[in-house]
Structure 1
Amino acid sequence: MNKRLISLSFSLRSSVQLHRPPLYHSISILFYSSSKPKRSKFNSVSKDGRSKSTPKVAVAEYLINQHQFSPEAALKASSSYAFLKNTAETDSVLSFLKESGFSKTQLEEVVKRIPSILRANLDTTIKPKIKIFQDSGFSDSDIADVISSDPWILWQSADNRLGPAILALKNILGSNAGVLKVLKLCGWYLKYDLEKTVIPNIEVLKSLGISSSQIVKYICHFPRFYLHTQENIMDFVRRVDEMGFDRKSKLFLSAIRTISSMSLETWEMKVKLFQSLGFSEKDVLVAFRRAPQVFCISEKKIKEATEMLLSSGKADIAFIVSHPELLICSVDHRLKPRLQVMENLEKKNLLRKIPSLTTICKYTDQKFAERFVIPYANELEV
Structure 2
Amino acid sequence: MTALWSNAEVDFRDEVREFCSTQLPRDISDKVLHGQPLQRDDYMRWQDILASRGWLAGFWPKDYGGQEWGASESYIFQEETARAGAPWLLPFGVNYAGPVIFTFGNEEQKRRHLPGIVDNSVFWCQGYSEPGAGSDLARLSTKARRDGDAYVVNGSKIWTSMAQWADMMFCLVRTNSDARLQQGISFLLIDMNTPGINVQPIQSIDGFRHLNQVFFDDVRVPATNLVGEENKGWTYAKFLLGHERVLSAETGKARRLLARAESAAQARGLGKDWRIRDKIARFEVDIHALEWMSLRLLADVTAGAAPGTESSLLKIRGSSLLQEISEFSVDVLGPDALAYDPQMLSDGTGIDEELRSMGIVHDFLFQRAPTIWGGSNEIQRNIIAKHALGLPTTRV
State the structure with bigger RCO (CA 8 A, min sep 6), 1 or 2: 2
**Bigger CA radius of gyration:** 1
- Both structures adopt the same fold (TM-score exceeding 0.5): no
Higher relative helix content: 1
TM-score, normalization by structure 2: 0.18
Higher relative strand content: 2
TM-score, normalization by structure 1: 0.19
